[in-house]
Structure 1
Amino acid sequence: MIVTRPFALALGAALLLSGCASAPVRPLEINLVALNDFHGNLEPSKYTYTPPGSTQPRTIQAGGIDVLKGALDTFRKDDPDLLFVAAGDLVGASPAASSMFADEPSIEALNRMGLVASSLGNHEFDQGPKELLRQQHGGCDSPRPAKACRLSPDFKGAGFTYLAANVVDAQTGKTLVPGWRIVDVKGVKVGLIGAVLHDLASVTIASSIKGLAIEDEAASINAVLPVMRAQGAQVFVVLIHEGGFADQPYDKADCDTLHGPIVAITKQLDPAIRLVISGHSHTGYLCKVDGKVVTQADAYGHLLSRIRLTLDPATKAVQDIQVRNVVMAPDAFQPDASLSAYLADVRAKSRAALAKPVARVQGALSRKENPAGESVLGGVIADAAVAATRDQGAQVGFMNPGGIRKDLETGEGGIVSFGQAQAVLPFGNTLVVMDLTGAQLRRVLEQQWDRPAASSPSVLAVSSSLTYDWDGTQPAGRRTANVKVDGKALDDNKVYRVVANNFLAEGGDNIPMFAKGTRRVETGLRDLDALIAYLQKHPEAGGMSLTAPQRIRKVR
């Protein structure tokens, strides 16, 4: 057969087009980076981990806003459309450099990093809804007038969106902040849904969430999917301030040992949700639960989670999810110069106050607990509360371990600076004195086991005036024994004067018996001031050891 030139050209073009039509279409990739529980850690802090391929733990100073921004800039070179998101507790319980300025430096730093959205965490409620909304929208009308707008007179608020589908006004039924947000990434509408732990009341001062209803996490998340679909959402990502624990390394992909509240929540989520970015438990993990990927990036900016979603380009269905937890080591990324300069400015404005010596002790005090649940630092804080309220008749002091955020570190010669003391007790909690009967006091001790999804108690630190034994194998109501106050057996009918911070006093940390105390005195005295005063009078406090049971004895 003779083929003419025009026909040959046409045939070649047809074959070429046919080849193009049959060529596989590349999958679509969407990249996310996630942060959780930043807690205003502008500067790097101690992080101990075991590097991949090693059996030896390594301790470094990890994080810091300039290193985080440097890492994000590096990741954005791979994908300029990277989506930076978070899972709550970005502020609150913060070191002094952030908290002394009402956490405005942390909000500004996250703005400069390009954060898009975050779920609310429990610590966003520390100062109540008014301050939470000010941090979102900006302005200087704050319940902390001595701190707000002191760093900059025109605080603009968060450039990112706080999300919580399950926090609603109890009267109107409207959410306090938006429940969700849709972001367009590479032509794909990505739906971000926020939620905070349902048990918010157990970890938040009651007055700070008064008038708010905290609804079931999974039900609230699932309920918003239809309206999000109606507005075009094609991929769904949950940002939730609730977490769990895994018995595998922080960088172990597809880990299968996750346990804790986040597991049950994840199992109830709509099958369309394939990715859950969690927080609250300050743990690094990359796990699978019922086919869903569940991540968490430890805390304080020590890790960032890198997440890659592979989508079908036609249907936008999620085909695969790859995740990594990346340590924010100081030598791993080039610090961002602009945020280094910003951090230097914050340091300069806070340096005098933070560096002020407030006490001298023999050595550092650790918050590490012994097998009975005691720590050196916890005991000192409880003793300090009693000493500060003796004039109110205080006999017994309590401190919740979750409120002790750092070890008490010292400088040369055992000098304690205000910044070091404030890092231990950053909440600004005040002391409340109340009456409890012996029977109620016994119930307080028993309620240490009343913790949802926990297999062990959260042992409260106690003052030296209180001693007792506990046996976790005994049934509820009989786990504590040999309770003594000032060396005398506890009398169920006698009234005792008890002091605790206002978080515990309102029934926080799942100890509702405190809220039943009578003859309450809101002293207005900060727990931090009480601790500093105690250290000034007791320089021997530092360097002690709790290697053997003292106030609390664990029987078995």
Structure 2
Amino acid sequence: MLRNTLSLRWACALILAGLVGCATSPRAPVEVNILAINDFHGYLQPNTFRYADPAAPDGVRSIKAGGIATLGGMLDELRQQDPQLLFVSAGDLIGGSPPISALWADEPTLEAFKAMGLRFSALGNHELDAGKEELLRQIHGGCDSVRKDKACTFRADFSGTGFPYLAANVIDTQTGQPLLPPYRIEEAHGVKVAFVGAVLQDVASVVRPSGLAGLRVTDEAEAINALIPELEKQGVNAIVAVVHQGGATPEPFDKPDCEHLQGDIVDIAQRLSPRVDALISAHTHQAYLCRVGRLLITQGNSYGHLLTHLTLTVTPGEHRVTSVTASNLVADPNRYKPSPQLAALQAEIESRSRDILQRPIARIQGNLLGRKLNRAGESLAGNVIADAQLAATRSMGAQVAFMNLGGIRGDLFLEPGQDRLTYSQVASVQPFNNSLVLLTLTGSQLQALLNEQWSQTGDFNPLQVSSTFSYRWDGRRPVNDRVVPGSLRIEGKPVEANRSYTVVVNNFLAEGGDRFSILTKAQTHRDTGISDIEALINHLMALDKAGTPAGGATAERIVRVDKTL
């Protein structure tokens, strides 16, 4: 009788254990889709995107990509597939912007991202260009701005971003607390995803001191790791770091799981807690889908060219992410139907900015600053543009500027009876809205760079140089050694082979455009976010104001010593 009773009890216990086990069994994993953008910089319109393509002439394909209408259309299409998609930014939505956004204090850009349903943006360095108070005004709204000539001119009642900025490592020195929320928890498909934001710790190297007044910036990885216990207590199922710092790789922008990522973001990734499931990066304007160890690190180029699509496979009820995959999607206006709402906003911004295009800029000497080269390889237009780029970055340490001839698309000229160049005329000479990049090169690299101006067939593609630089070349020497050794001068002083020098070029050249591969081997690479057209306009205006309008004879910065024509 006892045996039967015990057997019955064991049977009941087993049945109950089975029932309990069924009640607590894990739920099936779900997929969370994240769409990320970085370094938009107010590029409201489609603009040139160049990328390596072996099938294209010269191995580089160039298309117009981006624009808020196209980005909105991409979001519409992807949200049809997953209405719970999370759209996020890794910083520098604004700042270093083309005039169509900058003249309105970037408020149309923020309005556009509000309309796109952006959940948040990590803080970028350019959000701090005008300082802490201006950043807070742009977030919360209002018109009390240090940029009184621009703020609230697009909308008289500017209401702010409509989304938060995140920065775990930016401390307000007055309060000792984070200036902005350090993280945000989003819910999708029944799981909680924590996003932790951070800006590069060395933000002082790319922001004016006034922009950082009252702020202290701490280590990115340490700030993120310190928050993980707090996030775990809130029952998050995944953690994504969104850091405005990056790296670079020679691998294609759309190659999954690339392996050769280098740069500051790698060190950050290696020091992050293993509880971080993915890392969205920014700042270097590169595009990659790389892994450092088990951690996937992404970046989506810049200026709205790409959107990065991440998919996390997450287990409900616990912090467990079993896979993270990503792809970089080209924002091709020919591929995606534009968003009607964003297309209307883009058209309004363009219409209201049109008068700017006819704005008078500056006088010049004579009626023409042309592209025509002298026998050494100099042009009036090239000299002015190189000088403008140096002037824009000299305070950041630039010593010499180089400009590619192919980037000068026309002459600076005055029509009969015209007194000053208009914005439209200046912009037509540099239509690409490239950003200026600071590179560190040795003297021997400068020599090698200049020798890259000649192809193996002897074709000459001369770089235009700033007034601080000069050299001599000889057409009788071999095509890979035509620059006369020892002839390079910066500020009149001989260039030393082993000494490092800071040069400024546009981002097209910095990426090895026009076959100037030496520039891709620079010791350091820093995108200033300053547009080339902005630099040129400011330089022309400054010269005119000083009573010395741009132009005049070439200054023989480049000297050809042979007499061969």
Same fold (TM over 0.5): yes
**Where does residue 380 of structure 1 map in the other structure?**
387
**Where does residue 355 of structure 1 map in the other structure?**
358
**Where does residue 60 of structure 1 map in the other structure?**
63
Count of aligned pairs between the two proteins: 453
TM-score (norm 2): 0.69
**Is residue 129 of structure 1 aligned with residue 132 of structure 2?**
yes
Counterparts of 1:220-299 in structure 2, within 5 Å, are 220-299=223-302
Distance (Å, rounded) in 1 between the aligned partners of 2:225 and 2:190: 24
* Residue pair 2:403, 2:465 contacting (<8 A) in 1 also: no
The letter of the residue matching 2:256 is A
Alpha-carbon deviation of 1:527? Answer: 7.9
* Residue pair 1:235, 1:317 contacting (<8 A) in 2 also: yes
Give the % identical residues.
40
Q: Secondary structure at the match of 2:104?
A: coil
Alpha-carbon deviation of 1:358? Answer: 3.4
Structure-2 change in CA distance of 1:199 and 1:421 (3 Å): farther
**Where does residue 36 of structure 2 map in the other structure?**
34
**Where does residue 538 of structure 2 map in the other structure?**
529
Distance (Å, rounded) in 2 between the aligned partners of 1:157 and 1:482: 55
Structure-2 change in CA distance of 1:141 and 1:293 (3 Å): same
Alpha-carbon deviation of 1:220? Answer: 0.5
Structure-2 change in CA distance of 1:144 and 1:119 (3 Å): same
Distance (Å, rounded) in 1 between the aligned partners of 2:212 and 2:282: 20
Alpha-carbon deviation of 1:274? Answer: 1.6
**Where does residue 498 of structure 2 map in the other structure?**
none
Pick the aligned partner of 1:91 from 88, 91, 94: 94
Distance (Å, rounded) in 2 between the aligned partners of 1:545 and 1:297: 42
* Residue pair 2:368, 2:412 contacting (<8 A) in 1 also: no
* Residue pair 1:266, 1:276 contacting (<8 A) in 2 also: yes
Deviation per CA, 1:14-57: give whole Å up to 9, x if none: xxxx9xx8999643000000000000000011111245987843
The letter of the residue matching 1:201 is A
Structure-2 change in CA distance of 1:377 and 1:190 (3 Å): farther
Distance (Å, rounded) in 2 between the aligned partners of 1:130 and 1:403: 36
Distance (Å, rounded) in 1 between the aligned partners of 2:323 and 2:390: 54
* Residue pair 1:381, 1:399 contacting (<8 A) in 2 also: no
Distance (Å, rounded) in 1 between the aligned partners of 2:159 and 2:275: 36
Alpha-carbon deviation of 1:198? Answer: 0.6
* Residue pair 1:236, 1:272 contacting (<8 A) in 2 also: yes
**Is residue 418 of structure 1 aligned with residue 423 of structure 2?**
yes
Alpha-carbon deviation of 1:464? Answer: 1.9
The letter of the residue matching 2:387 is V
**Where does residue 344 of structure 1 map in the other structure?**
347
The letter of the residue matching 2:540 is L
Q: Secondary structure at the match of 1:537?
A: coil
The letter of the residue matching 1:40 is G
The letter of the residue matching 1:145 is K
* Residue pair 1:362, 1:541 contacting (<8 A) in 2 also: no
Q: Secondary structure at the match of 2:121?
A: strand
TM-score (norm 1): 0.70
Deviation per CA, 1:392-414: give whole Å up to 9, x if none: xxxxx95787999x966558968
**Is residue 113 of structure 1 aligned with residue 120 of structure 2?**
no
* Residue pair 1:121, 1:241 contacting (<8 A) in 2 also: yes
Distance (Å, rounded) in 2 between the aligned partners of 1:465 and 1:327: 39
Structure-2 change in CA distance of 1:324 and 1:541 (3 Å): farther
The letter of the residue matching 1:529 is N
Counterparts of 1:150-169 in structure 2, within 5 Å, are 150-169=153-172
* Residue pair 2:27, 2:315 contacting (<8 A) in 1 also: no
Distance (Å, rounded) in 1 between the aligned partners of 2:151 and 2:250: 42
Distance (Å, rounded) in 1 between the aligned partners of 2:325 and 2:306: 16
Alpha-carbon deviation of 1:282? Answer: 0.4
Structure-2 change in CA distance of 1:220 and 1:402 (3 Å): farther
Distance (Å, rounded) in 1 between the aligned partners of 2:172 and 2:313: 38
Bigger Cα displacement from structure 2, 175-184 vs 227-236: 227-236
The letter of the residue matching 1:209 is L
**Where does residue 3 of structure 1 map in the other structure?**
none
Deviation per CA, 1:368-402: give whole Å up to 9, x if none: xx9xxxx866632168789xxxxxxxxxx957879
Q: Secondary structure at the match of 1:307?
A: strand
The letter of the residue matching 2:263 is G
* Residue pair 1:244, 1:263 contacting (<8 A) in 2 also: yes
Distance (Å, rounded) in 2 between the aligned partners of 1:109 and 1:71: 14
Structure-2 change in CA distance of 1:410 and 1:139 (3 Å): farther
Distance (Å, rounded) in 1 between the aligned partners of 2:553 and 2:352: 31
Gaps of 5+ in 2: 1-18, 416-420, 443-463, 473-485, 496-503, 505-523, 525-534, 561-565
The letter of the residue matching 1:67 is T
**Is residue 315 of structure 1 aligned with residue 322 of structure 2?**
no
Distance (Å, rounded) in 2 between the aligned partners of 1:162 and 1:255: 29
The letter of the residue matching 1:531 is L
Structure-2 change in CA distance of 1:384 and 1:317 (3 Å): closer
* Residue pair 1:250, 1:325 contacting (<8 A) in 2 also: yes
Distance (Å, rounded) in 1 between the aligned partners of 2:148 and 2:28: 55
Structure-2 change in CA distance of 1:96 and 1:185 (3 Å): same
Distance (Å, rounded) in 2 between the aligned partners of 1:348 and 1:355: 13
Distance (Å, rounded) in 2 between the aligned partners of 1:487 and 1:355: 40
**Where does residue 72 of structure 1 map in the other structure?**
75
Distance (Å, rounded) in 2 between the aligned partners of 1:381 and 1:142: 28
